[in-house]
Chain A
Amino acid sequence: MKLHKNSKKQTEKKSFLKKWGGLILWILLLGFLALYPYTKVSGIQLFSATQVFMLVTLASNWNLIGGMTGYIDFGHTVFFGVGAYMMGILVTQAPLAFAPRLSFWQALPIAGLVALLLAVSLGWVTLRLKGSYFSIAMLGTFAATREIVRILRPLTGGGAGLDLPPVLNRLGEYYFMLAVMAIVVSSIWWIRRSDFGLSLLAIREDEIGAEMRGINTTLHKLVALAIAAFFTGITGAFWAWQNTYIDPDVVFLESRTVEMVMTSMLGGLGTVWGPPLGAVVLYSIQNIVWSNLLNYHLLALGILLIFLVLFMPEGILGKLGDRSSISAIRLIQRWQKRR
């Protein structure tokens, strides 16, 4: 077993800074961000910050199933879309005769739960299998859901979409997204250190081995996907509220999935702090370099993805950091040894 070769290193006590340094930095950063609106900032700056928070949240969720568990999810936007549409339907229409129109706060948990239910029912079928079924099934679910949303015209408005009541409150949006991001990233930090997170890593590195050690792999994968889907659904619901308009094309956007994948890859696949770092880098690149070349945006992202996988699969954190402390590195070193 490969795991045993490093067992001596792993049992050594990590230094205090290594163990808690990331979290302390993260809390300091959150504190600063909570005070940020009190400095003189414009609405646009708050809005961009909210977008970055959203990217961090989405990418962290994707990273939980894609990076830590090793099950690449090419349709994660479907949970975002389902959340957005649940918000849209519950707020603007009364789908059931007895149910009145709901407010934002009432619709929010329902949107998250519906995304979670979808994830559980899909994962129950596709996650029992090893291999690539999950990836393709998610890609299919993404495309199929977009079709179905178009067909269900009375409920979803079809291609014409739905208009939500416009409530412009940049400050409230900023704090809401900051809170969601804080919850998501902190939970992932906690998951990464818990038995549950270690089991996920074990599944990624050697699924059969993990099963033999008594880990219920299907259940673990399912729970990871469910958590990721729930928070993605919440984010989608929020996005629908913020954007005040949804239709199948703006909600089920393929580039959103690409950005989640790219952010995680760029920062460091399977790491806790990779997605936040990757989101900041990606957002800066997009705004500085590509804002003039809007047409080439996705082409450049696609090519960048190929180059990242081939030449820098460990991401920025892996390149910078202590290689042994990042779990993904071991996997990558194994790839390189085989070549």
Chain B
Amino acid sequence: MTQFLQALLSGLLLGGFYGVMVLGFSVLWGVMGIINLAHGDFLMTGAYLAWLMFRTFNLDPFISLVLILPLMFVVGYALQKILLNRLIERPRLATLLVTFGLSISLANLHKILYTADPRNVPVAYNGSIELWGISVPIVKAIVFFIALGMMSLLHLLLQRTRLGKAIRAAAQNKNAAKIVGIDIDRVYAITAGICIALTAGAGAAISPTQAIFPFMGQPFTLKAFTITVLGGLGRIPGALLGGMVLGITEVMVATYVPGIGTNFGVALSLILLVVILIVRPQGLSSGLRPMNEDRS
């Protein structure tokens, strides 16, 4: 029983992290229709930034989040203005190829900058506390609450502000949004900025809990895709729910199926994706735009 509860807790904590990790991917897809294959690599960039600040200034990763978020917002804004804007009207083929190229470039750029050696951020409080016989890892719990906070903030931004209204309008119908006077390029650039910042922030947040290396990104891209299909495009509760499903399944399999260990995550999310596609080919919920929309 204790083992089960322990696994459930680990799954929940992991799921919360997945929920915030997926937001950038999901909103970018929902608003602009861009499937960002470089998603995991932006997460890796965030983790490396946190490591860099920890090493040079001895800055705690959760404090350096305050610096990383605005920095990566600017990066995302510029990326949209320079690169992604050229892709919006093109078929998915071009988008996929460019983001794939971006992914490879980013991963190998980091390999050149920091070598392929795995790095870690050993924070002082990287232990766990006992609660009713279950050990709660402190860092992962902090990540979980930060994730919930970020999700609530994004939810408020999208639902309660004029900017959020503009973003949702741009997602629903671009031309109609233009007609009512929304500066679509600016809205897109801000959205991309938010998405990239969130992704890098998620990377920075988990930097104390796992090894950081240049090619760590790809599994996250794949998991993000599965979770988005599970939870709907740009739907924040859906992202959280999908993240929980994947997180708990992953931990349960690692706990109860012998001989597999924790490195089975990608295969598991792939199996989950295939099952969803067989059962409900149109995706579970639509969110900001219909999932099966074909732009080419």
List residues of chain A with CB under 8 Å of any chain B CB: 70, 72, 74, 125-126, 128-133, 135-137, 139-141, 143-144, 147-148, 150-151, 204, 207-208, 254, 258, 261, 265, 295-296, 298-299, 301-306, 309-310, 313, 331, 335, 338-339
B97 touches A302 (CB 8 A): no
Of B50-58, B101-109, B168-176, B197-205, the one contacting chain A is: B101-109
A299 touches B267 (CB 8 A): no
A310 touches B264 (CB 8 A): no
Chain B interface extent, by class: 35 or more
A140 touches B269 (CB 8 A): yes
User: With an 8 A cutoff between CB atoms, is B92 at the interface?
Assistant: yes
Of B150-158, B183-191, B238-246, B273-281, the one contacting chain A is: B273-281
What is the minimal beta-carbon distance from A119 to any residue of chain B, in angstroms?
14
User: With an 8 A cutoff between CB atoms, is B181 at the interface?
Assistant: no
B266 touches A143 (CB 8 A): yes
What is the minimal beta-carbon distance from B225 to any residue of chain A, in angstroms?
5
Among B77-131, those with CB < 8 Å from A are 83, 86, 89-94, 96-98, 100-109, 111-112
B294 touches A261 (CB 8 A): no
A131 touches B293 (CB 8 A): yes
**Which residue, A141, A309, A339, has most C-beta atoms of chain B within 10 A?**
A309
User: With an 8 A cutoff between CB atoms, is B35 at the interface?
Assistant: yes
A309 touches B101 (CB 8 A): yes
Tell me the nearest residue of chain A to B282, going by C-beta: A129
B104 touches A148 (CB 8 A): no
- Chain A hits for B269, CB < 8 A: 140
- Chain A hits for B222, CB < 8 A: 136, 139-140, 143
Given A302-B103, A303-B105, answer yes or no on A151-B264 (Cβ-Cβ < 8 Å): yes
Looking at the complex, which one of A70, A150, A295 makes contact with B296 (CB distance below 8 Å)?
A: A70
Extra contacts besides A128-B277, A129-B277, A143-B222 (17): CB < 8 Å: A125-B277, A132-B92, A137-B274, A137-B277, A151-B259, A151-B264, A208-B294, A254-B218, A301-B101, A302-B104, A302-B105, A305-B98, A305-B104, A306-B105, A310-B86, A338-B89, A339-B90
B294 touches A310 (CB 8 A): no
Distance between Cα atoms of A299 and B267 in the complex (Å): 27
Distance between Cα atoms of A338 and B296 in the complex (Å): 11
Given A299-B109, A302-B105, A303-B105, answer yes or no on A137-B98 (Cβ-Cβ < 8 Å): no
User: With an 8 A cutoff between CB atoms, is B292 at the interface?
Assistant: yes
**Which residue, A74, A126, A147, A150, has most C-beta atoms of chain B within 10 A?**
A147
Given A140-B222, A302-B108, A335-B91, answer yes or no on A147-B264 (Cβ-Cβ < 8 Å): yes
- Chain B hits for A309, CB < 8 A: 94, 97-98, 101
A303 touches B101 (CB 8 A): yes
Secondary structure class of chain B's binding surface, majority of residues: helix
A132 touches B219 (CB 8 A): no
Distance between Cα atoms of A295 and B263 in the complex (Å): 28
- Chain A hits for B219, CB < 8 A: 143
A126 touches B263 (CB 8 A): no
- Chain A hits for B259, CB < 8 A: 151
- Chain A hits for B105, CB < 8 A: 299, 302-303, 306
A140 touches B273 (CB 8 A): yes
**Which residue, A70, A129, A133, A298, has most C-beta atoms of chain B within 10 A?**
A133
Tell me the nearest residue of chain A to B265, going by C-beta: A147
B93 touches A148 (CB 8 A): no
- Chain A hits for B100, CB < 8 A: 74, 261, 305
- Chain B hits for A139, CB < 8 A: 37, 218, 221-222
User: With an 8 A cutoff between CB atoms, is B66 at the interface?
Assistant: no
Distance between Cα atoms of A208 and B225 in the complex (Å): 25
A-B contact pairs, 20 of them (CB 8 A): A72-B93, A72-B96, A72-B97, A74-B37, A131-B292, A133-B229, A135-B35, A139-B222, A140-B273, A143-B222, A147-B267, A151-B259, A151-B261, A258-B104, A295-B112, A305-B104, A306-B102, A335-B94, A339-B89, A339-B90
